């Protein structure tokens, strides 16, 4: 405790497993919370905060918090230095809860500290609000040079949010409701023209809504839109899976279940597969010929990423398209047509070396968030959790920040 606050009594309540710490201020005047002007005490009332446990005992801080009468601002409750405004916890306690929330879900943290789910949710929500507020105060809100746009589903795939990330820093910078073109437009047009012109790449899926939003608001968008490897691979992987499912049905009708349970065998990138798995796939392609062909087409298509120049990448993709469109597997042909239509954007991605590492790591962390929350019922909670885990925000409680950085 710093002057004028001091601990005047510590009481050990064994039966209640509680330590009660009483704090008092002897000052006759305290600063007005609005202007900082030392003002006379007007009245006071008892308030309590939960602090870090003492051994296994819950520790409660209790004090008479005065209200001061400022000549300019009237009667105001003073700001105590150990807790944020409106919080029932000391800043050190809140910080500990936030640390735990980084690695565990809300219900686990609630159980650990003997708090309700809603209380822990509230601590997380306030932390995110603090972080977003600080980001705009201290650094200014800015448009990243390399943007990634993606949609994420929740509520068992019935609802969506659009996630915009900074591909350089790897942080999520914006989470918007739904996946319509307008949500991307609203975000982009909140920046001035100069800033929009400074965007160098926009990585996204081959989806018309996002494409038209970016084309409208980013100058020279046709050179900057990148359909990254991650999304192209996702489309091709889906096509392989559709072919596999159809063939599996056919084979099982003939009493052959060689393809059963092999869904994930075909999704990975061949360059990352083990020798054993590759041998297994080679064996499978002898029985499941169509799935094998679809898989080989996917692998050849992804090979275009080996090139560095626009010319070579275009040549490789065009050649790939010509064989894919003749393959007599409708799911693969459908992706081939999509790839042809969006070829320049794919070439942009290859040329700019837009890597999918960031999108993939953000993607897998959002999967983790969804998994640990056992499905979000509400969009706001999902959005909060994304900001909390991926926003790169400074969410330290105000009371732990050096004076002069307070934003509330």
Instruction: Kindly list the residues in this chain that would bind Zn ion in the complex (CB under 5 A).
Output: 32, 34-35, 37, 70, 72-73
Smallest separation (angstroms) from Zn ion to the CB of 34: 4
Smallest separation (angstroms) from Zn ion to the CB of 47: 21
Q: How far apart are CA 396 and CA 173, in angstroms?
A: 18
Nearer to Zn ion among residue 40 and residue 81 (C-beta): 40
Least Cα distance to 329 among 288, 376, 283, 274 occurs for 288
H helices of 104-228, where?
A: 106-113, 117-134, 181-188, 193-197, 208-217, 221-224
Query: Left if phi > 0, otherwise alpha if psi is -120 to 50, otherwise beta: which for 319?
Result: alpha
Using an 8 Å Cβ cutoff, are 76 and 33 in contact?
Answer: yes
Smallest separation (angstroms) from Zn ion to the CB of 29: 12
Smallest separation (angstroms) from Zn ion to the CB of 130: 23
Number of Cβ within a 10 Å radius of residue 216: 13
Q: Which helix (H) or strand (E) holds 343?
A: helix 343-352
Smallest separation (angstroms) from Zn ion to the CB of 4: 18
Smallest separation (angstroms) from Zn ion to the CB of 89: 26
Nearer to Zn ion among residue 34 and residue 309 (C-beta): 34
Smallest separation (angstroms) from Zn ion to the CB of 72: 5
Nearer to Zn ion among residue 32 and residue 199 (C-beta): 32
Nearer to Zn ion among residue 12 and residue 35 (C-beta): 35
The crossing angle, in degrees rounded to 10, of helices 330-341 and 343-352 is: 70
Using an 8 Å Cβ cutoff, are 183 and 339 in contact?
Answer: no
Smallest separation (angstroms) from Zn ion to the CB of 378: 39
Q: How far apart are CA 16 and CA 178, in angstroms?
A: 49
Nearer to Zn ion among residue 70 and residue 386 (C-beta): 70
At residue 283, the 3 state secondary structure works out as helix
Nearer to Zn ion among residue 8 and residue 75 (C-beta): 75
Phi, psi of 103 (to 5 degrees): -115, -5
Nearer to Zn ion among residue 15 and residue 403 (C-beta): 403
Nearer to Zn ion among residue 34 and residue 318 (C-beta): 34
- Would you call 288 exposed, middle or buried from its count of C-beta atoms within 10 A (0-12, 13-18, 19+)? buried
Radius of gyration of the chain (CA): 28
């Amino acid at each position: 405790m710093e002057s004028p606050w001091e601990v005047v009594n510590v009481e050990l309540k064994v039966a209640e497993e509680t330590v009660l710490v009483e704090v008092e201020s002897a000052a006759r005047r305290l600063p007005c919370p609005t202007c900082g002007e030392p003002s006379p005490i007007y009245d006071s009332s008892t308030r309590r905060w939960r602090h870090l446990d003492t051994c296994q005992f819950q520790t409660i801080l209790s004090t008479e918090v005065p209200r001061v009468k400022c000549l300019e601002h009237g009667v105001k409750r003073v700001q105590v230095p150990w807790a944020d405004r409106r919080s029932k916890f000391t800043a050190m306690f809140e910080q500990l809860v936030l640390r735990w929330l980084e690695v565990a879900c809300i219900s686990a943290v609630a159980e650990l500290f003997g708090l309700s789910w809603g209380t822990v949710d509230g601590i997380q929500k306030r932390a995110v609000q603090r972080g977003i507020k600080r980001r705009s105060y201290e650094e200014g809100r800015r448009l990243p040079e390399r943007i990634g746009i993606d949609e994420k589903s929740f509520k068992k795939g019935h609802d969506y949010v659009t996630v915009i990330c900074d591909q350089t820093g790897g942080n999520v910078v914006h989470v918007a409701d739904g996946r319509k073109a307008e949500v991307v437009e609203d975000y982009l047009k909140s920046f001035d023209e100069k800033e929009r012109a400074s965007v160098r790449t926009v990585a996204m899926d081959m989806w018309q809504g996002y494409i038209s939003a970016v084309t409208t608001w980013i100058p020279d968008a046709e050179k900057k839109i990148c359909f990254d490897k991650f999304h192209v691979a996702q489309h091709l992987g889906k096509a392989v899976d559709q072919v596999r499912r159809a063939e599996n049905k056919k084979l099982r009708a003939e009493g052959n279940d060689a393809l059963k349970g092999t869904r994930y065998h075909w999704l990975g990138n061949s360059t990352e597969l083990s020798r054993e798995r590759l041998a297994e796939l080679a064996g499978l392609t002898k029985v499941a010929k169509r799935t094998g062909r679809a898989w080989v087409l996917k692998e050849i298509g992804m090979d275009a990423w080996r090139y560095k120049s626009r010319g070579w990448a275009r040549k490789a993709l065009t050649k790939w398209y010509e064989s894919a469109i003749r393959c007599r597997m409708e799911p693969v042909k459908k992706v081939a047509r999509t790839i042809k239509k969006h070829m320049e954007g794919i070439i942009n991605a290859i040329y700019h070396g837009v890597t999918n590492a960031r999108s993939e790591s953000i993607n897998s962390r959002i999967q983790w968030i969804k998994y640990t929350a056992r499905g979000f019922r509400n969009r706001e909670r999902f959005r909060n959790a994304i900001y909390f885990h991926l926003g790169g925000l400074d969410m330290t409680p105000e009371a732990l920040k050096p004076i002069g950085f307070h934003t509330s």
